[in-house]
Structure 1
Amino acid sequence: MFTLFIMMMERVGLIILLAFLLVNVSFFKKILLNRQLLSAKIKLIAIFATFAIISNFTGIVITDNQLLPGDFSTVLNADTSIANTRTLAIGVAGIIGGPFVGVGVGIIAGIHRVMQAGGTSLFYIVSSILVGCLAGYIGRNYIRLNKMPSTKKAFLLGTLMESIQMVFILFFSPTLEQGWLLVRFIAVPMILLNAIGTLIFITIISSTQKQEEQLRAVQTHDVLDLAAKTLPYFREGLTQESCGAVAKIIQKYTKVAAISMTDNHQILAHVGVGSDHHIPELDVMTSLSLDVLQTGHLTIARSKSAIGCSNPNCRLHAAIVIPLKSNDQIAGTLKMYFTDVNDLTHVEENMAEGLATIFSSQLELGEIEAQSKLLKDAEIKSLQAQVNPHFFFNAMNTIAALMRRDVTQSRQLLLQLSQYFRSNLQGARQTTITLEQELAHINAYLALEQARFPDRYTVSYDIEEGLESLAVPPFCLQVLVENAIRHAFHSRKTDNLIRVTMTRQGQTVRLCVRDNGFGINPEKYALLGQEPVPSVEGTGTALENLNKRLAGLFGPDSTLHFTTTAEGTRVTFKLPFERNSDTL
């Protein structure tokens, strides 16, 4: 038994070595990031089925409780058995990829084990499928949470999977006596070493994932800082001066070989390697850039020929080309160049996608600011464009704090923050939007508030069917919901309810936002909506601004009406039943 234990350690070591090499390959990292996709699951089946087949071939042949020499076994005699790490590969496959992957690897590994034995011992197919299925259903919960089992749970799972295999060997051997003799000889070393192997395999993958998350958290912090520094320049639009400054800032933060920026026709800036021939004022010179300008899709080049530079001495061998969009139109490109193709990893790809969204939003903001000067309804636009700086900084601080413990949630909150400010930008361009867009804006705001104060507020909706495309002023409901959250409940931490209701009454729609807070101070009640009401939480202009917009757009009959008691406050107003023109 001790000799078998030592020999099994060599086999487990081989699988662990392959695991270590595998998790350091970017191809496998991408699969793990997308392991809920069918294509990723098929790739996982292929990878772990290969591991299982290698385990079958490198198993230790046993006959009459004697170990036979040899390091590679393709065919087994009817009276021989083999100790291997096949169950380890099947179990880890299920934990990582779920039931589909676990069963898929189990079928392939079981069939190969039966073929190895000349078509006998069919129970190995059943046992392998059972192990894969069980490991997959256990792993499904970890996939949903985007986590890996702890070391203790990984060890127990490895023990359970191999124990199932031992039960099948015991009861499905030619005789119960033969099964007992074999299990007694191999059970302890195989269960122990497969459990240790599962633990090490899962730990390697888990530690690699944590390193990736930490790297992404650092990059997210840098991207936010970068966005803050580039915003003033992007607001000026794509000019040689603004793009030159932006390119220098981006290269400083990203450490790439070169940064280049173009509009739809020419190079506006190029900083770093290749600046001797990628010269501003020249027409867009690479075929790669021209393709991105035509398709509007982020494109990656992993060779010098794919970049399409006509200069034979160009040292740039890889690139990410990011389309810069404004109002869904291609305004130009941002190019990140690399002198070594190995420097272009999936981390840089993810960062580039994030930069594309941020920079496009900044360009859009710049255009909106320029256009707003030409709008006749400048007063209404300026009221709509106001953004609460306290909310912005609170949201950023919340996201920064979450990066240390939950990168996935912080990434989702960044998307919600982007949605929130996109809605603000949209409100600065339009006098009305659809109710559906207004509710999306509210939900983005609530997601950020709930991250700061989990389960403190409950917001419910009662909206009559058919009002989704109703034309409403931007922020008309969001301001009221935010006002309730900030002022209605004081320091109360539970049972804070807000209800939004909308009902059609002929050719008008009645909108109501009600809370169960402590009511409004009588001294402030008469001033609400009429003039600024300063408070500790803000300037008190939000309700006044909303009232002015409602009156300016729909007349005095659409202004806010307040009803307050010690049990809560209700704010109502009416809008004409008109569908937003953008939906027609």
Structure 2
Amino acid sequence: MGLLSLTISYFNKSANGESLWAPFLEMFRMLSVVLILTYIATKSKSFKVIIRGQQSRKTIIWQIIIFSILGILASYCTMDVNGIPANARGLIVMISALLGGPYVGIPVGIIAGVWRYGMGGITALACGVATIMAGIVGSLVYRWNDGEFLRPYKAALLMLLYSGFDMFLITILTPQPKGVLIANALYAPMTFGAVLGILLFTLFLTEKKEEAEKSDEQTVSDNRNTDTQNINEISQELNEYKDKVKKLEQKLEEYDKKFNQLEQKLKDK
């Protein structure tokens, strides 16, 4: 009911004179920058290994570094909603946890959360705690889903629930009455950004996984063709050796006949 009242309040306020879609457009612009940076990060060889489910110490360290940097940058790449900064830090931490599990999500959440807390501000504690919780929640979901990234609708539902939890933390950990006012202003655009962002990333990841699977299948097919070709070549060589052995046997038979004939002549003499 609390989240519903926040949503209704937001839309009522927007309808009374403020632009209804402006915060969403701003959030979409900011989200585009975040997703572009994430996309650039996914072009590395380590990411191609990760989507195949082949985690290693190297890939874990790589993910922690990349997502921590993105999480910190998200604290500075903000949009203004009625004088209140909104960002996609929680989304980035959640993606890191869903993609890399607890060994990635929890460290990234702690790094980004502590950094946000160190920046100060009235929402520093709430935002810091929410960021750390994003890493923990995402890691638990990663374990629950056996290390597989969530399907789009499940990922969207997760971010919807997390956004509500984020606003709840802002409400209880921020001095009143500012806590409710801030949550009221941020709930709709940040929920929109979080859900849209996780959907886009999930679809992108699904496409990359399909490409990787096709590439693996092609590699297996090529290897099979190579093996078949090698077998054919070996078989051909064996046949050639058989022919040579037969010719050698024929020559030996001829020599044996000649030897017998020679032996017979010697006996006759």
For the aligned pair, the TM-score class normalised by the smaller chain equals 0.7 to 0.9
Aligned mates of 1:179, 1:121 — CA distance in 2: 12
Aligned mates of 1:111, 1:119 — CA distance in 2: 15
SS in 1 for 2:91: helix
Aligned mates of 2:124, 2:136 — CA distance in 1: 20
| One-letter code aligned to 2:115 | H
SS in 2 for 1:33: coil
Choose the corresponding residue for 1:117, options 112, 120, 126: 120
Tell me the residue number matched to 2:151: 150
2:189 is the counterpart of 1:228:
no
Change (3 A) 1:228 1:12: same
Contact 2:41-2:66 at 8 Å conserved across structures: no
Tell me the residue number matched to 1:128: 131
SS in 2 for 1:122: helix
Tell me the residue number matched to 2:41: 22
- How many corresponding residue pairs? 219
2:67 is the counterpart of 1:48:
yes
Tell me the residue number matched to 1:171: 172
Aligned mates of 1:104, 1:197 — CA distance in 2: 21
Q: CA deviation at 1:125?
A: 2.7
Change (3 A) 1:35 1:216: closer
Q: CA deviation at 1:22?
A: 2.7
| One-letter code aligned to 2:139 | G
2:195 is the counterpart of 1:195:
yes
Q: CA deviation at 1:133?
A: 0.7
Q: CA deviation at 1:236?
A: 8.2
Change (3 A) 1:34 1:43: farther
SS in 1 for 2:180: helix
Choose the corresponding residue for 1:91, options 85, 88, 94: 94
Q: CA deviation at 1:234?
A: 4.3
Choose the corresponding residue for 1:7, options 16, 26, 32: 26
1:88-124 CA-partner distances (Å, limit 9, x unpaired): 1011111101122111111111111112226973333
Change (3 A) 1:119 1:39: farther
| One-letter code aligned to 2:22 | T
Change (3 A) 1:119 1:31: farther
Change (3 A) 1:32 1:212: closer
Change (3 A) 1:121 1:16: closer
SS in 2 for 1:170: helix
1:411-450 CA-partner distances (Å, limit 9, x unpaired): xxxxxxxxxxxxxxxxxxxxxxxxxxxxxxxxxxxxxxxx
Using the size of structure 2 for normalisation, the TM-score is 0.74
Q: CA deviation at 1:127?
A: 1.9
Using the size of structure 1 for normalisation, the TM-score is 0.35
Q: Work out which structure has the larger RCO, using CA pairs closer than 8 Å and 6 or more positions apart in sequence.
A: 2
Change (3 A) 1:139 1:16: same
Change (3 A) 1:23 1:121: closer
Q: CA deviation at 1:233?
A: 2.9
Out of 150-159 and 1-10, give the one that drifted further. 1-10
Contact 1:34-1:40 at 8 Å conserved across structures: no
Contact 1:105-1:132 at 8 Å conserved across structures: yes
Contact 1:131-1:164 at 8 Å conserved across structures: no
Aligned mates of 2:59, 2:46 — CA distance in 1: 10
Q: CA deviation at 1:150?
A: 1.4
Change (3 A) 1:155 1:57: same
Tell me the residue number matched to 2:207: 207
Aligned mates of 1:52, 1:163 — CA distance in 2: 20
Aligned mates of 2:146, 2:32 — CA distance in 1: 26
**Structure-to-structure mapping, 1:342-421, within 5 angstroms:** none
| One-letter code aligned to 1:37 | S
Q: CA deviation at 1:35?
A: 5.0
Q: CA deviation at 1:190?
A: 0.5
Change (3 A) 1:215 1:129: same
Can you give the 5+ residue segments of structure 1 that lack an aligned partner in the other structure? 68-80, 242-584
Aligned mates of 1:193, 1:123 — CA distance in 2: 19
Aligned mates of 2:122, 2:193 — CA distance in 1: 27
Contact 2:118-2:124 at 8 Å conserved across structures: no
Contact 2:63-2:104 at 8 Å conserved across structures: yes
Tell me the residue number matched to 1:57: 76
Aligned mates of 2:41, 2:93 — CA distance in 1: 16
Change (3 A) 1:23 1:143: farther
Change (3 A) 1:190 1:95: same
**Structure-to-structure mapping, 1:530-545, within 5 angstroms:** none
Higher share of residues assigned helix: 2
| One-letter code aligned to 1:95 | L
Change (3 A) 1:178 1:119: closer
Can you give the 5+ residue segments of structure 2 that lack an aligned partner in the other structure? 1-19, 241-269
Aligned mates of 2:78, 2:55 — CA distance in 1: 32
Contact 2:46-2:62 at 8 Å conserved across structures: no
Change (3 A) 1:34 1:119: farther
| One-letter code aligned to 1:46 | I
Aligned mates of 1:36, 1:14 — CA distance in 2: 27
Aligned mates of 1:95, 1:158 — CA distance in 2: 11
Aligned mates of 1:157, 1:111 — CA distance in 2: 23
Q: CA deviation at 1:10?
A: 0.7
Q: CA deviation at 1:155?
A: 1.0
Change (3 A) 1:35 1:221: closer
Change (3 A) 1:143 1:36: farther
What is the alpha-carbon root mean square deviation over aligned residues? Answer: 2.4
| Runs of 4+ in structure 1 over 3 Å off | 31-36, 141-144, 234-237
Change (3 A) 1:60 1:150: same
Aligned mates of 1:30, 1:140 — CA distance in 2: 19
